[in-house]
């Protein structure tokens, strides 16, 4: 009788938990499904992360791409706040707004060359005479291996891993890479990156997500604040000059919350919008606030934190400003700029980086 009462009590507690959290008995924090096949027949998986409050994040193993982020507005209405394609075929045809992991080196490397320990390496010149985003293929165009990680209280995680072999796209060393996507009940999407190598190599990983907190239209009416009062000036090819300058008195000053499109005309005709690297205030390697984006219309807010030294603001200039990127990263061309934080990873070291995108509404 005592055992029966205990079982009934346990069942009642479970029922009350499900009722108060809005969850059903079938609630899964992480699930997986088939997403299609590559031209060579390799399968692509999709992982769906859910939290107890209805937020959903979808990720595929092709390019470690985030295909969807459903986040609530001030009235609780959900909308997808990241640009994504409708199918794998669309991604394979070159969808230009994918939220993929970029590597082995995000952003630009001048003249598609660099030296480590006196050895010069040549890369693909896929951005004029320069190298960008890991080369002609890069991590955004390969199939990663995915697995669901053991559940933890109030969060669910999936790990994607990839081996970039020695010489791939011209880079030295066998680089083992992992990215862990975690969705918490606090509406935080956390990205933890890890990498190891057997030869010294530059590493600079980021996610190139294009966010639109309105869920449609353009982002010029979004408001932006950056925890950055300095930036890295660049030449006409968007290669840093090596200097670090103040944003004061420039269209790059987002030290107070400012409408994204309010000064964008000042960047023309050289640029059709923002494509600039900012120096995040605070110590590299320490998780700290990098910026905040607000959509006044829906009330959606996105707070960004990172351990990285920089963040690249890109306003989807090739997409009619349909999305806004805050790419947490090392500075562009940092492998060729001795004064910049070094992106070199050596054998025996582990490259670690964390970025958090936290969603709320006001």
Write out pLDDT tens, residues 114-126: 999 999 999 999 9
With contact defined as beta carbons under 8 Å apart, do 210 and 351 qualify?
no
Whether the per-residue pLDDT at 1 is higher than 80: the answer is no
Structure token pair of residue 295: 């959509």
Catalytic residue list contains 208: yes
- 131, 133, 187, 208: which one is catalytic? 208
With contact defined as beta carbons under 8 Å apart, do 120 and 126 qualify?
no
Name which of 10-24, 105-119, 186-200, 272-286 the model is least confident about: 10-24
Q: Kindly state the percentage of the chain with pLDDT values over 70.
A: 93
pLDDT tier at 324 (50, 70, 90 boundaries)? very high
pTM of the model as a whole: 0.92
Question: What number of CA atoms fall less than 13 Å from residue 263's CA on the CB side?
Answer: 11
Catalytic residue list contains 276: no
Whether the per-residue pLDDT at 248 is higher than 80: the answer is yes
Question: What number of CA atoms fall less than 13 Å from residue 257's CA on the CB side?
Answer: 10
Q: Which residues does 12 contact at the CB level (< 8 Å), separation at least 6?
A: none
CA-CA distance, 271 to 324, in Å (whole number)?
Answer: 15
With contact defined as beta carbons under 8 Å apart, do 86 and 74 qualify?
no
Structure token pair of residue 56: 């959903």
With contact defined as beta carbons under 8 Å apart, do 362 and 341 qualify?
no
Write out pLDDT tens, residues 57-110: 999 999 999 999 999 999 999 999 999 999 999 999 999 999 999 999 999 999
Whether the per-residue pLDDT at 240 is higher than 80: the answer is yes
Q: Under DSSP, is residue 188 helix (H, G, I), strand (E, B) or coil? A: strand
Which domains can be identified in the chain, with CATH numbers?
Answer: 30-359 (2.70.98.10)
Whether the per-residue pLDDT at 13 is higher than 70: the answer is no
pLDDT tier at 26 (50, 70, 90 boundaries)? low
Whether the per-residue pLDDT at 292 is higher than 70: the answer is yes
């Amino acid at each position: 009788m005592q055992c029966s009462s205990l079982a009934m009590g346990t069942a009642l507690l479970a029922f009350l938990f499900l009722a108060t959290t809005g969850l059903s008995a079938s609630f899964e924090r992480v699930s997986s499904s088939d997403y299609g096949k590559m031209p060579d027949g390799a399968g692509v998986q999709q992982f769906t992360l859910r939290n107890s409050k209805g937020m959903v994040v979808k990720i595929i193993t092709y390019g470690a791409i985030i295909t969807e982020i459903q986040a609530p507005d001030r009235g609780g209405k959900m909308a997808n706040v990241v640009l994504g394609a409708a199918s794998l075929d669309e991604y394979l045809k070159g969808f230009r707004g994918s939220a993929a992991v970029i590597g082995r080196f995000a952003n630009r490397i001048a003249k598609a060359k660099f030296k480590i320990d006196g050895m010069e390496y040549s890369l693909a010149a896929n951005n004029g005479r320069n190298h960008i985003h890991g080369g002609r293929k890069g991590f955004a165009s390969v199939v990663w291996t995915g697995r669901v990680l053991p559940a933890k209280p109030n969060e669910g995680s999936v790990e994607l891993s990839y081996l970039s072999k020695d010489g791939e796209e011209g880079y030295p060393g066998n680089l083992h890479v992992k990215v862990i996507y975690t969705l918490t009940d606090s509406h935080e999407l956390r990205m933890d990156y890890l990498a190891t190598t057997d030869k010294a190599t530059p590493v600079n990983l980021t996610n190139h997500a294009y966010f639109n907190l309105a869920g449609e239209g353009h982002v010029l009416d979004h408001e932006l604040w950056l925890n950055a009062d300095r930036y890295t000036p660049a030449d006409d090819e968007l290669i840093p000059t090596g200097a670090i300058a103040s944003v004061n008195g420039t269209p790059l000053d987002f030290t107070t919350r400012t409408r994204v499109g309010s000064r964008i005309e000042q960047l023309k005709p050289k640029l059709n919008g923002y494509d600039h690297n900012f120096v995040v205030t605070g110590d590299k390697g320490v998780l700290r606030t990098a910026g905040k984006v607000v959509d006044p219309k829906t009330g959606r807010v996105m707070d960004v934190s990172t351990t990285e030294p920089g963040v690249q603001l890109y306003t989807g200039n090739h997409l009619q400003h349909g999305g806004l990127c805050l790419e947490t990263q090392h500075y562009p061309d940092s492998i060729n700029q001795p004064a910049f934080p070094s992106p070199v990873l050596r054998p025996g070291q582990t490259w670690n980086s964390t970025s958090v995108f936290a969603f709320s509404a006001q």
